[in-house]
Structure 1
């Protein structure tokens, strides 16, 4: 082969083809994140600003944050809504060997008296109950970080580029899920604490703790116990809210059998 042909050889791309496993890894990182690093453009300077923020997710998997209007990152995303969010906690050993994902987002402030605000408030406090001390202060506001695309690093040699459709949970009957979820979560926590414990400790292999259900969606359940978070994925995504109850019953039977 001539030197000329060698020079025209295209370099190998480090990006792998998106598959179901990379989608699940990405969604899992987002759903289980308690906090993340928010990167925004500082208001008035154009300089990058990175801040640690506490996180929860909306029913469709969109990250949500609660911020004070007195903070620098709030003024940043109000002036320039385009921002990025890095999530993924390092474990033992080399932190670069653990999965993380950079989310490219657009921050949308939620009106305080809206139905969306009520839903986000409930889901956020289920994940961060201590925030109830200040969640209703006049200078605090919720933002949905609307997902545009993402860069997933699943560890060495596992890089993926994902699009919005790879990251969000399809709701179908969005209104139905939003109406049903609040009552279903309350019912499970009040009347079926034993089943929730089985979900977390048997099916998710979580440590023994006082587990509660913080949220649910067509693809799974979010379980919390203090700082611990587990995600229980359904075998198949549910098309309608009415399909939830038999799935929860079957999961409880499976956990007891194990």
Structure 2
């Protein structure tokens, strides 16, 4: 065990969206480094399955069903976490959903669902866990999962999804500044092209948000992608370094992502030049 791992050994993490993909990988990575883990997901059976598997591996783990869009459900998650482990030192706001579609063709229900899960769900968890975290001392940290889409000048048929990830980026960087006085670290995780089921997000879409959006690329696992376990490793190491930001994408995507970020800067440079 490294010296950095000793920082989190014996502490407790809550990971939302943890029944599969990056969330499940985060729970496993944190458990392997000595943390107790609350595996939280709207898929309650999936959360319990992941927690039971971690328990067999010697990790103290608890599976809890949570709907992050529901404040009462998130408060129940908080109560379950404290009842089982007594404290929470790491909050990983990882629950998120994806839709494809042009803005003109998207429904208000599409936006409301995306923002309810990706943005308001994160806020519900922050409001539930931060008050107690701020009253404590010692190591504490928050990690919010955004996306490389938070940096794209041309998001390409994911404008609404990308808008929610821009919001997460802005709020996370602001939160890092706000919590500095409390000595609570904050990191934003920006995965790109990870091998998860995010294209099948609508399997958990409530009917209250209206008809399902088209799924032009299918609902399978993203191909030619970085493994969730590698995303989790990079993310946890960034948390232990108290890094403000961490990217996790396959190597073959580096050049394309750099070009996309450079396009964002080019647009800004051109706008500034227009004022000169």
Shorter-chain TM range is under 0.3
More strand by share: 1
Higher gyration radius (CA) = 1
More helix by share: 2
